[in-house]
A and B are shown apart, each in its own frame.
Chain A
Amino acid sequence: MQVYRFTGDTTPDQVLNEAGEVVGELPDQAADLALRWYPFMIFCRKFDERAQLLQRQGRIGTYAPFRGQEAAQIGSFAVLRRTDWVFPTYRELAGLMYHGLEPAHALLKSRGHPDAGRMPEGFRMAPPQIAIAAQILHAVGAGWACKLQQTDDMAVAYFGDGATSEGDFHEGMNFAAVMRLPVVLFCQNNQYAISVPVHRQTASPTIAQKAIAYGVEGVRVDGNDVFAVYQAMRYAADRARRGDGPTLIEAVTYRLGPHTTADDPSRYREAADVERWAAAKDPLVRLRLWLTRQGLWDDERQAACEAEAEARVCQAVAEMEAYPHKSLEDAARHVYAEVPEGLALQLAERGKEAR
């Protein structure tokens, strides 16, 4: 009898350990990359804090914080080209802003503005997906198109640990594998799907190992180590562009904030657990330790960088609030290519009522 059992190592790959010491292979031009990434991470952290404050003040609606996941997002988005397709969730605002989404635009979704989904021209960014795991299949389809169109572009699906329980994840991975599509399935395992911990989500010791059953390569990486994430994503992207098919990346990270501003994590996890991750594994702290050791960072730079980030966040909020309201009538023009007669009549009637 042949019994298949997972015997692999579950330790995630690292380039920097928690102390910011190099324990793996740094990418070329690591210093330049870090000097680009770290200030952006500071900006994202401030953006995230401000967004939660705006929600409490009633200036925006529900918001899903990404605090703690900055490295997983920025390290992976850093590998994308503008012509690559990206299919994110509501959690990926840090990555999307790094890729080029205006911070003011990033706030429109929580603002409940219809243009939140109207992603900027010049990129191939799908709007943040709400239905868990649905976008994985879209990425597989877009990757299929890249292959048919004979470019070396690829498609990336972002999703969480919870999403790996949906059929869409399994069906998507299988399609991508069978057709050898240029796709990266990027899972941010932030340990929770709202209140459900990952060990109640799956009985596999890792998410990465799920790749094996589909004939796909799986990579497990420390998601709070921006260099390790970058290296993993480069590996997967090279495979995709070469025509070697899909890769599943599991970035092991931790959601330091609530699931959304409507969530109360004290109901399902210990504050001490959060503090442990925050103290030992904050992705910003780790990168700063390395930069400082290289002589590339000090308190003065930190202060200047924070002030600059603060100003950018303020500007984004002002732009978001100044963004013109869009009427229901204008939004309703986009249900079909042409407004059907019945809908036009409904709109005309409402127009009369409003007067």
Chain B
Amino acid sequence: MPRWTMIEAIRDALAIALRGDPRVLVFGEDVGKNGGVFRATDGLQAEFGESRVVDTPLAEKAIVGTAVGLAMAGMKPVAEIQFLGFAYEAMDQIAAQLARIRFRTQGRFTAPAVIRAPYGGGVRTPELHSDSLEALFAHTPGLVVVTPSRPYDAKGLLLSAIRSPDPVVFLEPIRLYRAFREEVPEDDYEVPLGRAAIRREGADVTLVAWGPTVPVAESAAAQAAAKGISCEVLDLRTLAPLDRSALQASVEKTGRAVVVHEAVQYAGLGAEIAASIMDLAFYHLQAPVLRVAGLDTPYPPASLEDAWLPSVTRVVRAIERAMEI
């Protein structure tokens, strides 16, 4: 089995989808000849031609808006927004159009497009290239929001997303694109949407994380273990709809939860997850649910991002606080 980085796994998923389904097309800014600014579509235009792997004009609203029309008309568009911060340009088409086609037409039409976008910090990018905006999409009924934290999942989740009957916003953590390799099957396989994964089993505290903060939570769990605290790491993978049963099962077991996300804390997904835990497992809780998140400021310039991002140290401290209470 090959050992691939996440970017290679994503590219492979796109190739499989293009090969297996003539309705699939991949488009966006610089995805064709250049193979994507991160090389997620490397070589795909050479293999599948210019009508299936398409360099579009520079217009995010048109990229998403045409994906809506393509999907309504029976195609399978996989559109790329070059960096998630530029999804703001397309918010009308994402939130007011893509997400609502099924509801608006009461099932007469659907728009099962996939919108892929790199996101997250830690790689010293210019402004608007590092923002974590998952809460905006999770707050939009009708969208499935997915984010992988490892190569195996990235491929299987993306294939599921392309075959999903619902539109999927597929968020790819830039920092994990080439962070590590793992064995990824070359064949076609799916990782189901809507299912979280336990990355590490534990008894004292549940760490809820996704995408770029999964490795942060894993490191914090390892450090906490050295202090005699046993943490379970739950990788949500799908952020909307939420895997409520996985959350409930884990917190019923541990009685404590720390949510770790990169997006700003205020009105972030951590708040929704904390409230869900209260609904699902209140009588099992031994401590309030804590959050370790980005600061309530815009994502800062590169020289400040290390201070801004949720660090392993901060997560360990939150774990200790949860244990002290």
Contact = CB atoms under 8 A, between A and B. Distances in A.
Interface of A: 61-62, 90, 109, 111-114, 116, 130-132, 162-163, 165-167, 193-196, 200-202, 262-263, 267-268, 325-328, 331-332, 335, 340, 342-343, 346-347, 350, 353-354
A166 B295 contact: no
A116 B35 CA distance: 31
A167 B307 contact: no
B295 A114 contact: no
B126 A111 contact: no
A196 B32 CA distance: 9
B265 interface: yes
Contacts of B86: 131-132
B232 interface: no
A84 B245 CA distance: 60
Given A267-B33, A350-B295, A166 B58 contact: yes
A201 B58 contact: yes
Contacts of B58: 132, 162-163, 165-166, 193, 196, 201
Chain B interface mostly: loop
B313 interface: yes
Interface stretch (B207-215, B246-254, B296-304): B296-304
A328 B30 contact: no
A129 to B, nearest CB: 9
B154 to A, nearest CB: 22
A162 to B, nearest CB: 4
A119 to B, nearest CB: 14
Given A167-B59, A200-B57, A267-B34, A113 B303 contact: yes
Contacts of A62: 124-126
10 contacts: A62-B124, A112-B305, A165-B57, A196-B55, A201-B57, A201-B58, A327-B307, A328-B304, A346-B265, A350-B307
10 tightest A-B CB contacts, nearest first: A112-B302, A195-B34, A165-B57, A162-B58, A112-B303, A328-B307, A165-B58, A112-B301, A165-B59, A343-B296
A114 B57 contact: no
A202 B57 contact: yes
A111 B295 contact: no
Contacts of A167: 59, 61-62
B121 to A, nearest CB: 11
A346 B88 CA distance: 26
A165 B128 CA distance: 19
A62 B301 CA distance: 12
Given A162-B58, A194-B34, A335 B308 contact: no
Nearest to B124: A61
A195 B58 CA distance: 11
Contacts of A109: 126
Interface in B249-272: 265-266
B241 to A, nearest CB: 28
A342 B296 contact: yes
Contacts of A132: 58, 86
Given A328-B307, A342-B266, A353 B59 contact: no
Contacts of A113: 301, 303
Given A62-B124, A165-B58, A193-B29, A328 B295 contact: yes
Contacts of B199: none
A49 B317 CA distance: 45
Given A109-B126, A200-B57, A327-B307, 17 more contacts: A112-B303, A112-B305, A113-B301, A130-B127, A165-B59, A165-B62, A167-B59, A193-B58, A195-B32, A196-B58, A200-B55, A263-B37, A267-B34, A328-B304, A335-B298, A343-B295, A350-B307
Of the four ranges (under 10, 10 to 19, 20 to 34, 35 or more), the interface on chain B belongs to 35 or more
A114 B126 contact: no
Contacts of A61: 124-126, 302
B124 A112 contact: yes
A131 B89 contact: yes
Given A328-B308, A347-B295, A350-B295, A166 B30 contact: no
B61 A196 contact: no
Interface string B4-48: 000000000000000000000000011011110100000000000
B181 interface: no
A353 B266 contact: no
A193 B59 CA distance: 12
B300 A328 contact: yes
Contacts of B307: 327-328, 350, 354
Contacts of A193: 29, 58
Contacts of B33: 195, 267-268
Nearest to B293: A346
A194 B37 contact: yes
B128 A130 contact: yes
Contacts of A350: 295, 307, 314
Contacts of B60: 166
A165 B297 CA distance: 31
A354 B57 CA distance: 46
B297 A335 contact: yes
A162 B126 CA distance: 18
A200 B50 CA distance: 12
Contact of A194 (B29, B129, B303): B29
Contacts of A162: 57-58
A332 B295 contact: yes
Contacts of A325: 303
Nearest to B86: A131
Contact of A111 (B37, B89, B303): B303
Given A165-B59, A166-B58, A166-B89, A343 B297 contact: yes
Interface in B280-325: 295-298, 300-305, 307-308, 313-314, 317
